[in-house]
A and B are shown apart, each in its own frame.
Chain A
């Protein structure tokens, strides 16, 4: 079965550089979430999209932005990178449909970003 695809899997950037992470949700899933997980931490919600519109916003720094495209893939853009941005970045997708029920979110394997 198709899963959530994230690219790249690993990324090394220098301070003050920019990075773009990509996420390809499971086909027919209409909701995408982005999470940041620091070392030894729980995943922290950054932002989500439902049907290509931003639906919820968490603790996403102003230096970060995200969008969902017409083909439902999503990109997380990170600028002016700091050492503290080093983390595992997860994308997850789910199929909410028009119901209010929150279905399970399936996570990609994550992108490990290291800022040096």
Chain B
């Protein structure tokens, strides 16, 4: 069975601090897909990144970076120089081949000025 664990329920930082959101996953399949979504206070779910299990390359997109490590079944998300607009709930999600996304419980990030 697939499972996603986001152990950090809430994180509070001050603007310009770096913050890392942890994600640990479980799956028996060798082919799987990992995702991060952002849910701002307005409620919509915004897609951030998708990674497949064969691609362990880390990725950087502006202030966002992701570290995928199969050895520890982790797919962590770092925001560099955080901003107030980064305040949101962040969900890590997992899917196996042709299955729906299973979400973690989410991490609420609060960035204060």
A103 vs chain B, min Cβ distance (A): 7
Q: Tell me if A88 and B43 are in contact (CB < 8 A).
A: yes
The distance in angstroms between the C-alpha atoms of A1 and B35, with both chains bound, is: 21
User: Contacts A42-B91, A42-B105 given: A33-B100 contact, CB under 8 Å?
Assistant: yes
Chain A interface size band reads: 20 to 34
B88 vs chain A, min Cβ distance (A): 14
Which of B45, B52, B100 is A56 in contact with, Cβ under 8 Å? Answer: B100
Q: Tell me if A43 and B44 are in contact (CB < 8 A).
A: no
> Which residues of A lie under 8 Å from residue B96 when comparing CB positions?
102
8 Å CB interface, A56-105 against B: 56, 58, 88, 90, 92, 96, 100-105
The distance in angstroms between the C-alpha atoms of A84 and B37, with both chains bound, is: 25
The distance in angstroms between the C-alpha atoms of A33 and B103, with both chains bound, is: 13
- State whether the Cβ of A110 lies closer than 8 Å to any Cβ in chain B: yes
> Which residues of B lie under 8 Å from residue A108 when comparing CB positions?
44
Q: Tell me if A45 and B50 are in contact (CB < 8 A).
A: no
Q: Tell me if A102 and B43 are in contact (CB < 8 A).
A: no
> Which residues of B lie under 8 Å from residue A42 when comparing CB positions?
91, 103-106
Which of B44, B46, B50, B104 is A110 in contact with, Cβ under 8 Å? Answer: B44
Binding site for B on A (CB under 8 A): 33, 41-45, 48, 50, 55-56, 58, 88, 90, 92, 96, 100-110, 112
Give me 19 A-to-B residue pairs in the complex whose CB atoms sit less than 8 angstroms apart, sorted by A's number: A33-B100, A42-B103, A42-B104, A45-B102, A56-B98, A56-B99, A88-B43, A90-B45, A100-B31, A101-B97, A102-B95, A102-B96, A102-B98, A103-B50, A104-B50, A107-B46, A109-B44, A110-B44, A112-B43
Binding site for A on B (CB under 8 A): 31, 33, 35, 37, 43-47, 50, 52, 91, 95-106
What would 15 more interface pairs be, CB under 8 Å, given A45-B101, A102-B95? A33-B100, A33-B101, A42-B91, A45-B102, A50-B98, A56-B100, A88-B43, A92-B45, A100-B31, A100-B97, A102-B33, A102-B97, A105-B101, A107-B44, A110-B44
